[in-house]
Amino acid sequence: MPKLKRIVKYPSDEIHGEGSWVKVTRLTIAGMKQVAIDAATILIKQEQAAARLRLVREGKLDPSELVIPEVCEELEALSYILKGNVIDWNWTDDDGNPLPNPRENPEIIETLVGEETNFLSALIRGSEAKVKN
């Protein structure tokens, strides 16, 4: 009987150049449920933050009170998912030096830029619209 491939290797040429690749673990149902809950929570918090920002613009709230911890929480949730599901890659930094293996050094995830995190997040969720196996 064929085995389900939970760890999948994808080309990442559009993000890190020709010949680059990344291995990720696909989310389980439980993982997808948690991501959905986190996403809903983040949306609610973003709406609350937007409301506070409107109050600042209207002069009804002092800008010094405009702390948006929701953004940090959102990034922490994304970081947690990426650290738990990015298995390996052959990515390099801007100088061509190999990035550390994300399983051996999960803190490397903290150095990624938006395009990289969006790409990885889509792969983990199984969104393969632009990426072929």
| Stretch (H or E) spanning 22 | strand 21-25
What is the percent of the chain with per-residue pLDDT over 90, rounded to a whole number? 39
The domain ranges of the chain are 7-125
pLDDT of residue 96: 93
Q: What is the pLDDT of residues 11-63, one digit of tens each?
A: 999 999 999 999 998 877 887 787 777 777 777 777 887 888 888 889 988 87
Q: Are 10 and 131 in contact (CB under 8 A)?
A: yes
The model scores a pTM over 0.75: no
Burial class (CB in 10 A: 0-12, 13-18, 19+), 116: buried
